[in-house]
Amino acid sequence: MQTVGRFAPSPSGRIHLGNILCSLLAWLSARQKGGRVVLRIEDLDTARCPRKYGEQMAVDLAWLGLTWDEGPGVGGPDGPYEQSLRTAMYEQALEKLENMDLVYPCFCTRAELHAASAPHREDGQVIYAGTCRNLTPEQIAERRKDRAPALRLRVPDTEWSFTDGHMGPYREKLARDCGDFLLRRSDGMFAYQLAVVVDDAAMGVTEVVRGSDLLDSTPRQLYLYHLLGLEPPTFFHGPLLLTSDGRRLSKRNADAGLDDLQDRMTAAEILGKLAYVAGFNPSAEPRSAEQLLADFDWAKVPREDIHLPVGLF
Ligand code: GLU
């Protein structure tokens, strides 16, 4: 079976070094196996991800030489390739889950969810306490008069485990470590967890490469693959890039954005340096994505987050 990898950026700003490393890993991992690459723009949150940012992401990836075979600008059989245009597919999946009696409306406000007593995951996310899990139809009808509900998926008290291609074995008890999770927000926006599963399956993705901040989303996604009767891909979670003083790179770090870098460096210079800190370029010399194929090996890539050395970029 041919490998199909993907880039799935959320265009809430200009692409930064963290996204670039992630895209480079996805590209190398798929291309080295003779695989195809899909570009999907994860712009579910249309307020934060205006269309022009998605278009800019595609321009930037192309400039970097990270080519794709299906997606914006190229087309393909499984489009559209922008999540904001795919809501009918998420509706269908939601309906399937509703028919299994696994979905319920949740009326909790943000403040209620974040109440001081709420259990939190290590990364600060709230573990849903199940407040609205057993509302009666009368209670639901009553609360609907005040506000539109979000929709949550009931999770079982079982453990989900999988072996990540890079990070190794990972397990989570959904009920204890995550709780019933959101499928749709109260404003109607579909949740990332549902959309990503529907899309990766519909686009024939066999290999998901992304940052280790999403490792703990994977059991939820595997549960959705199981419920929807879909074949899950393999997963590779790569290290995150941190600034030299240990902060997460984000679109807010102007220093890491492509707009600034592009004025000073070629694509091969950027990729060569990134590959060097990620262990698969012997020096920080410029290398194009194509040129990096020969040296790329997941075994060389660290599992821990990478601190960017001062002055490298
Ligand atoms: N859209 C997500 C992001 O940019 C990535 C989701 C994924 O790779 O599954 O962080």
The DSSP line for 148-199 is PPEEEE---S-EEEEEETTTEEEEEEHHHHT-SEEEE-TTSPBPHHHHHHHH
251 as an active site residue: the answer is yes
Residue 131 located in a structural domain? yes
- 103 and 69 housed in the same domain: no
- 175 and 93 housed in the same domain: yes
For ligand 1, atom 6, the nearest C-alpha belongs to 8
Q: How confident is the model at residue 239, as a pLDDT?
A: 97
Q: Residue 45 is encoded by which pair of tokens? A: 């949150």
Distances (CA, A) of 165 to 21, 39, 168: 17, 21, 6
CA of 210, closest atom in ligand 1: 8
- 116 and 74 housed in the same domain: no
Report whether residue 42 contacts ligand 1, using a CB cutoff of 6 Å.
yes
* Cα of 96 from ligand 1 centre, angstroms: 24
Residue 223 located in a structural domain? no
Residue 111 located in a structural domain? yes
CB 15 within 8 A of CB 9: yes
pLDDT, tens digit, for every residue of 145-177?
A: 999 999 999 999 989 999 999 999 999 999 999
Residue 180 located in a structural domain? yes
Q: Which amino acid is at 245?
A: D
If one residue of 198, 214, 218 were mutated to test the ligand 1 pocket, choosing by the most ligand atoms within 8 A of its CB, it would be: 214
Q: Which long-range contacts (CB under 8 A, 24 or more apart) does 140-148 make?
A: 140/105, 143/105, 143/107, 144/105, 146/107, 147/107, 147/186, 148/186, 148/187, 148/188
Q: How confident is the model at residue 245, as a pLDDT?
A: 84
- Domain tally, the chain: 2
Report whether residue 210 contacts ligand 1, using a CB cutoff of 6 Å.
yes
* Cα of 140 from ligand 1 centre, angstroms: 33
* Active-site option among 52, 251, 273, 300: 251
The C-alpha atoms of residue 206 and residue 133 are separated, in whole angstroms, by 34
Residue 205 located in a structural domain? no
Report whether residue 214 contacts ligand 1, using a CB cutoff of 6 Å.
yes
- 187 and 112 housed in the same domain: yes
- The number of residues making up the chain comes to 313
Residue 211 located in a structural domain? no
CA of 22, closest atom in ligand 1: 8
- 49 and 63 housed in the same domain: yes
Residue 211 has pLDDT above 60, yes or no: yes
User: By residue range, what is the domain housing residue 152?
Assistant: 88-193
Domain stops at, among 166, 193, 220 = 193
| β-sheet bridge partners, residue 70 | 38
- 32 and 93 housed in the same domain: no
Q: What is the pLDDT averaged over residues 38-66? A: 96
CA of 209, closest atom in ligand 1: 8
Q: How confident is the model at residue 251, as a pLDDT?
A: 60
CATH number at residue 105: 3.90.800.10
| β-sheet bridge partners, residue 4 | 36
- 72 and 117 housed in the same domain: no
Q: How confident is the model at residue 307, as a pLDDT?
A: 94
Higher pLDDT, 121 or 310: 310
Q: At what angle do helices 267-277 and 17-32 cross, to 10 degrees?
A: 80
| Residue 307 half-sphere exposure toward CB, CA atoms < 13 A | 6
- 81 and 92 housed in the same domain: no
Q: Residue 10 is encoded by which pair of tokens? A: 């959320």
CATH number at residue 79: 3.40.50.620
pLDDT, tens digit, for every residue of 11-43?
A: 998 899 999 999 999 999 999 999 999 999 999
Residue 254 has pLDDT above 60, yes or no: no
Residue 313 located in a structural domain? no
Report whether residue 199 contacts ligand 1, using a CB cutoff of 6 Å.
no
The DSSP symbol for 48 reads T
Report whether residue 10 contacts ligand 1, using a CB cutoff of 6 Å.
yes
- 33 and 109 housed in the same domain: no
Q: Which amino acid is at 152?
A: R
Report whether residue 275 contacts ligand 1, using a CB cutoff of 6 Å.
no
Report whether residue 8 contacts ligand 1, using a CB cutoff of 6 Å.
yes
* Cα of 68 from ligand 1 centre, angstroms: 16
Residue 227 located in a structural domain? no
Give 270's pLDDT tier (boundaries 50, 70, 90): very high
Q: Which of 271, 254, 201 is nearest to 22 (CA)?
A: 271
